[in-house]
Homo-oligomer: A and B are copies of this chain.
Amino acid sequence: MSGSIKAIVYQAHGKPEKVLHLEAEELRPVGENEALVRLLAAPINPADLNAIEGKYPVRPELPATPGFEGAGVVEEVGAAVRNVAAGAQVILPHDLGTWREAAVIAAGKLIVAPNEIAGEQAAMLKINPLTAWRMLHDFVRLEPGDWVIQNAANSAAGRAVIQIARELGYRTVNVVRRPELIEELRAEGGDVVLLDGDDLREAAAEATERALIRLGLNAVGGESALRLAKIVAPEATIVTYGAMSLKPLTLPNGLLIFKNLRFTGFWVNKWYELATAAERDQTFERLFDLARRGLLQTKIERSYPLGEFSEAVARAAEGKRAGKILFRATP
């Protein structure tokens, strides 16, 4: 790898297809605490597109390279680096801008991922599976056998919730909008999979034998979130981590005052920033363990070389896909 690499860059916020460019960038020499990492894969997540459009709550200094997650291979490390070595597969931090061929980066920001995990899958552990893991740990103290309810069960995070909950002994009520997903999500380990709609409450009560559900995970908003709030037990917590419907949460005051629900949110990039290295490592250790056993596999529709970014972002912005769109290493 030469000192010059290609990276996707934008100078101003706007529609991705208008503002993105592929540019040559000079890599700086590897400092004593740094590593040179060559990209293996980086997905296109909805948050990436929002960030490019300037609709993300944190705006990078421009020009910037998009990409909140990705995985690479270490090519070279500085003299003082101990945590990674050349040849290691690593997960990249969310503030790098992963849509690039390579980067020189502080080695302390890298997470070593076992080489048995495919690069494309390693590249997609840091947002959705990590979100799922933290949401199942950080809000309600659950015991084996306890129920969790989620909408957006078919999303990458939702599928990770199903698999991680099963691993931890929790049971899941999974709410989807399309009937053909019911069998599919049951096969992934969903204990109960239900169609969203007006009779969801009764269906959930029946399927769980009226269990008290103390944790709800919401990535839809609007009516769907309100239905979760009506289903969960008094004192339950609803964690919002996405807003696919683009509709706000409308809460009758009684759900707060009398049912005493707690509504809060989870933002994985914020968690990542505030976590200690030990907290990150411990979480990834468990995710790697699951991934090595064939779990937490995110479906992929197609990987594109960086040069085909126009097609890639256009496809990623479309609704019905067979899986994620990624950038892959340019051969």
Contact = CB atoms under 8 A, between A and B. Distances in A.
Interface residues of A, number: 27
A32 to B, nearest CB: 36
Chain A contact residues: helix, strand, loop or mixed: mixed
Contact of A264 (B248, B249, B260, B265): B260
B253 A258 contact: no
Nearest to A246: B253
Chain multiplicity (copies):
2
A221 B249 CA distance: 13
A256 interface: yes
B267 A257 contact: yes
Interface centre among A241, A255, A261, A265 (most CB of B within 10 A): A265
A265 B256 CA distance: 4
Interface core residue of A242, A243, A248 (most chain B CB under 10 Å): A248
18 contacts: A57-B259, A240-B256, A242-B253, A242-B257, A243-B254, A243-B257, A248-B251, A248-B253, A249-B249, A249-B250, A249-B256, A255-B265, A258-B265, A259-B265, A260-B266, A260-B267, A261-B265, A263-B264
A251 B242 CA distance: 13
B248 A248 contact: no
Interface in A53-68: 57
Interface centre among A242, A264, A270 (most CB of B within 10 A): A264
Contacts of A260: 264-267, 270
Contacts of A259: 57, 265
A266 B266 CA distance: 23
A261 B263 CA distance: 8
Given A57-B254, A253-B249, A261 B261 contact: no
A315 interface: no
B257 A240 contact: yes
A255 B263 CA distance: 11
B263 A251 contact: yes
Contact of A262 (B242, B251, B264): B264
A252 interface: yes
A217 B251 CA distance: 16
A255 B265 CA distance: 8
A140 to B, nearest CB: 13
Given A262-B264, A264-B261, A243 B250 contact: no
A127 to B, nearest CB: 13
